[in-house]
Structure 1
């Protein structure tokens, strides 16, 4: 049964920020007038479970819901944008600085990916929350890689010679010919290869008969946003992220 307001515990985030965390999942509200009352029951459950920090994302078009969650004590933390390209089969590889693009195969490569994610990425759900120390947001990305490995996500590295300059982690639904790009980017100092990385990401998916690629990115990350636009992606949705300490 789908509830109006549900939640899931997020122990991977608890490891990073030192508080028991949960994500609030808000579905279509059957009676918008009773949002606060319904939410209060959910929060009470979470408090009884020892949860201390919660967060949710809401479609920008749902103005009333944005007001309701703030009325329940949430504060605005970040904005994210869902982008998509549904014509990957028409993609033509661009002439860009050459890199190799291959599946990550060993712990040494995973460690480099974790280092890049935690030290070179500056945007995200926790990075943009002024109430969370930036160092803890970096630890979250470091731990996130471990979770994605356990989930058996597809993990690729981009190399110049033998040096890893970037990576891509994606989840592919081959039955629907679609891919979600979970986390991708280049190391600090290797940003010149960012376009080359996306070049290879899209080509790799095209060669594997994937025609649809989507990603959720920070609206504040203008460089990456423009990168997606340059590769033919369009905006599907914008979400506002709200957080609350309980």
Structure 2
């Protein structure tokens, strides 16, 4: 039964229903989603024929571009007073995560209540803290943000609302990228950004990142969520 469906337990705990990602885009895989109750994610090329997606009840939720940058291409922007630390108040990091990522694909999914989408980000950040994959960003003696990474991938970069709109985005992002180059030793980093977040995308491009392709993301809900859980 699960030949084409890969369980995603990190999503199941948030939505309280079985969740899966499809391992391939074929009619047999799509048919299996009609025979299984749950919430499904499928990533396809933007040039893919989507006729069967509509036929089997999938709906578009987002596109993810992949900006990449080599160490030599990074255009650094320095800002005095930026510091990184693995010592931080977890609740402050979780508070930033709760309100900084309101435009993600699960927030855009009309079948997912906002509180469930918020919970998914908080739990993901909680996991990353446990795995020591988060660094707090301190500025003016305050926790101004954080970034999360895994090997050569920039996973998340969040700024506290009090530090947005102050012209610090480029300096903060530049500092995070430089720090990840330093601590991981990789010569090339990548990240994923939705075109629905042009401010973030423009910051990365201004620092020397170049787009390296994109994928469209579709969801499907077969069954119902226990709303209120």
Q: Same fold (TM over 0.5)?
A: yes
The question of 1:93 aligning with 2:80 is answered: no
Change (3 A) 1:79 1:197: same
SS class of match (1:94): coil
Find the aligned partners of 1:39 and 1:183 in 2 and give their Cα distance.
Answer: 30
Deviation at 1:90, TM superposition (A): 4.5
Question: Which residues in structure 2 correspond to 1:143-222 (within 5 Å)?
Answer: 143-150=123-130, 152=131, 154-172=133-151, 179-191=152-164, 192=166, 193-208=168-183, 209-222=185-198
CA contact (8 A) 2:149 2:180 kept: no
Find the aligned partners of 1:97 and 1:223 in 2 and give their Cα distance.
Answer: 23
Question: Which residues in structure 2 correspond to 1:97-136 (within 5 Å)?
Answer: 98-102=81-85, 104-105=86-87, 108=89, 110-136=90-116
Normalised by the length of structure 2, the TM-score is: 0.85
The question of 1:55 aligning with 2:41 is answered: yes
1:188-244 superposed Cα distances (whole Å, 9 cap, x missing partner): 121233222211122223334321110111220111011111111111122211111
SS class of match (1:70): helix
- Bigger fraction of residues in helix: 1
Change (3 A) 1:135 1:97: farther
Find the aligned partners of 1:59 and 1:199 in 2 and give their Cα distance.
Answer: 30
CA contact (8 A) 2:111 2:221 kept: no
CA contact (8 A) 1:98 1:196 kept: no
CA contact (8 A) 1:120 1:187 kept: yes
Aligned pair count reads 217
Aligned to 1:9: 7
1:87-146 superposed Cα distances (whole Å, 9 cap, x missing partner): 2134353233531122x235x2x2221111112222212012123222221111011112
Gaps of 5+ in 1: 30-34, 173-178
Question: Which residues in structure 2 correspond to 1:36-75 (within 5 Å)?
Answer: 36-41=27-32, 43-44=34-35, 47=36, 51-61=37-47, 63-64=48-49, 66-75=50-59
Asked which structure has the greater RCO (Cα within 8 Å, sep 6+), the reply is 2
Aligned to 2:67: 83
Deviation at 1:53, TM superposition (A): 1.1
